[in-house]
Amino acid sequence: MDLELKDMPGQLVLALQPISEFGGNIVSVLHHRDKKTPRGLIPVQITFEIDGEKLEGLINRMKSDGITIAQVGEDRLREKAIVILIGHIIHSDIRDTIDRIDSTGYAEVKDLAVSMPGVDQHSAARMVINATGEKEMQKAIQLLRDTAHEKNLLMIESI
């Protein structure tokens, strides 16, 4: 959640207290005291976990307390892995490879960078995959291993 707070004592506590009251668990707080938004307020990013059914009540409470909420986002994909694929990546249908991961519902390809030195030469791709949890990440990596094997691609995993 991105907030904009007034530059006065007690504003950060005013923003954080309702999260606790609604049963949320605060993971991190970035308070940019030295910066100002175009409205002259202080930007604050809060990462927290909360039951999705309680989020609307929390937002309404914060607004009624005078807290300016600039953005609310859900980060359901918490695990991240980076793999390298080497081979005829484009010719083996990279879109299909991505779709196999994305269609799982628990993992997504979040970034892809491809280097293609020549038409007849092997390409290399760095793929960033995010998943909902550690078990789901392991399943996504296994799916990618199977796909790479099927498409005759070398897959290098981070340790």
- CATH of residue 131: 3.30.70.260
Region 136-140: mean pLDDT is 94
Residue 71 has pLDDT above 90, yes or no: no
If asked whether residues 133 and 90 sit together in one domain, one would say yes
Neighbours of 120 (CB within 10 A): 6
CA–CA separation, 130 and 107 (whole Å): 6
| Contacts (Cβ under 8 Å, ≥6 apart) of 61 | 18, 21, 22
pLDDT mean across residues, the chain:
90
Give the per-residue pLDDT at 120.
Answer: 84
Contact 158, 84 (CB under 8 A): no
Q: Which domain holds residue 95?
A: 79-157
Region 88-94: mean pLDDT is 93
92 to each of 76, 80, 89, 148, 149, how far by Cα in Å? 30, 24, 5, 9, 11
Q: How many domains does the chain have?
A: 2
The residue out of 71, 103, 126 marking a domain boundary is 71
The residue out of 55, 71, 87 marking a domain boundary is 71
CA–CA separation, 107 and 141 (whole Å): 10
If asked whether residues 6 and 45 sit together in one domain, one would say yes
If asked whether residues 7 and 25 sit together in one domain, one would say yes
pLDDT digits (tens, 9 = 90+) for 22-46: 999 988 888 877 888 878 889 898 8
Strand-pair partners of 107: 131
CA–CA separation, 129 and 80 (whole Å): 6
| Contacts (Cβ under 8 Å, ≥6 apart) of 145 | 155
If asked whether residues 35 and 103 sit together in one domain, one would say no
Region 61-83: mean pLDDT is 85
The residue out of 45, 71, 97 marking a domain boundary is 71
